[in-house]
């Protein structure tokens, strides 16, 4: 699965790396999801593990503080939606 947003900052100035995300709406119609998964067919356990890795999340943030993370999803996903790696402050 492809990411929507991947953000990686330098670890050297981690306390100065801020990111603010507001008002994102992601809609994937159920019919589209069912069609997509019907075309994939059966997947192996290894393929499922690839889907579920944190690096394969829809939003991946590294070495930054997040503020006002306002994102809404209308769909279902097999992969993680949000991955936060090495965040100095959580402010949700």
Point out the residues of the chain with pLDDT beneath 50. none
Neighbours of 34 (CB within 10 A): 11
Is 81 strand, coil or helix? coil
Of the candidates 50, 64, 56, the residue with the CA atom closest to the CA atom of residue 81: 56
Task: Please tell me the distance from the alpha carbon of residue 64 to that of residue 5, in angstroms, as a whole number.
Answer: 14
State residue 52's pLDDT score.
66
Q: List, in sequence order, every residue forming a beta bridge with 18; answer none if it has no partner.
A: 65
DSSP 56: G
Neighbours of 48 (CB within 10 A): 11
């Amino acid at each position: 699965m492809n990411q929507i947003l991947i953000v990686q900052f330098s670890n050297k100035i981690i306390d100065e790396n801020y990111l603010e995300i507001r008002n994102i709406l992601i809609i994937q119609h159920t019919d589209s999801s069912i069609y997509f998964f019907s075309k994939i067919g059966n997947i192996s356990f290894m393929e499922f593990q690839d889907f579920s890795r944190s690096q394969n999340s829809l939003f991946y943030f590294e070495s930054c503080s997040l503020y006002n993370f306002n994102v809404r999803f209308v769909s279902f996903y097999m992969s993680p939606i949000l991955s936060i790696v090495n965040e100095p402050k959580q402010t949700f």
